[in-house]
């Protein structure tokens, strides 16, 4: 009887350690991001970003700047194709293919320009003053161009983190709206791309 008691005590002890360890790991994992249908965002899938109720902008698209054929910048859109260009979110650390908040990732935006079919968001300084303005262009994949997604009110926002995190919002440059670092974030939700015929 004593042996059975010790055996039960032994297994109870290790079960408690395993359970606490598992729960601790699960609770420390950043939360998943969900689309407008409540489904988890997945890697290797294309999504549109759409406005949250009351927001002026939601979608984003790629357009040329400064009359250069392939100098492309990310700009905010309201209702185009139908919600701008599709995005693919590429986490640095892929965990079961789920995209999570507060984790580093590259953002690929798919455009109709012949010169670039798939391009990564890339932060670029607009002027050389001490309070330089930073905007989002597109270019090759790079470690210094990691962004994060954070929950914000009824939706989400993009942030860029280097020493401190700054919100990604809408800025005006030479009469053109562009996406860049701003004190007022662009707030949106994700909508999964709908493939015609499926």
63, pLDDT greater than 50: yes
pTM of the model: 0.77
* DSSP assignment letter at 40: B
Query: Cis omega (within 30 of 0) on the bond before 80?
Result: no
Report the 10 Å Cβ neighbour count for 165: 13
* Contact (CB, 8 A) for 41 and 178: no
- C-alpha–C-alpha distance, residues 34 and 43, integer Å: 12
- Residue among 106, 128, 130 nearest 119 (CA): 106
17, pLDDT greater than 50: no
Q: Domain 30-192 is in which class? A: mainly beta
Give the rounded percent of residues in the chain with a pLDDT score beyond 90. 33
Range with lowest mean pLDDT among 24-28, 49-53, 71-75: 24-28
Q: Are strands 134-139 and 118-125 parallel, antiparallel or unpaired?
A: antiparallel
* Helix, strand, coil share of the chain (percent; to 5): 15, 45, 40
Confidence of residue 55 (pLDDT cuts 50, 70, 90): low
In the chain, alpha helices (H): 2-28
Secondary structure element (H or E) that encloses residue 15, with its range: helix 2-28
Range with lowest mean pLDDT among 19-33, 127-141, 153-167: 19-33
Beta bridge partners of 110: 118
């Amino acid at each position: 009887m004593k042996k059975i008691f010790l055996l039960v005590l032994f297994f109870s002890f290790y079960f408690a350690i395993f359970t606490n360890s598992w729960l601790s790991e699960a609770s420390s994992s950043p939360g998943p991001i969900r689309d407008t249908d409540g489904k988890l965002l997945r890697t290797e899938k294309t999504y549109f970003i759409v406005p949250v109720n009351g927001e002026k902008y939601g979608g984003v698209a790629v357009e040329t700047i400064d009359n250069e054929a392939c100098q492309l910048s990310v700009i905010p859109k309201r209702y185009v194709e139908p919600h701008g260009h599709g995005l693919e979110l590429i986490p640095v650390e892929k965990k079961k293919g789920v995209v999570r908040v507060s984790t580093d990732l590259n953002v690929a935006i798919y455009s109709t320009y012949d010169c670039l079919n798939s391009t990564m968001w890339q932060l670029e300084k607009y002027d050389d003053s001490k309070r330089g303005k930073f905007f989002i262009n597109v270019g090759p994949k790079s470690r210094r161009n990691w962004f994060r997604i954070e929950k914000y009110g009824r939706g989400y926002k993009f942030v860029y983190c280097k020493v401190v995190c700054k919100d990604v919002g809408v800025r005006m440059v030479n009469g053109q709206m562009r996406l860049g670092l701003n004190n007022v974030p662009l707030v949106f939700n994700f909508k999964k791309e709908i493939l015609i015929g499926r």
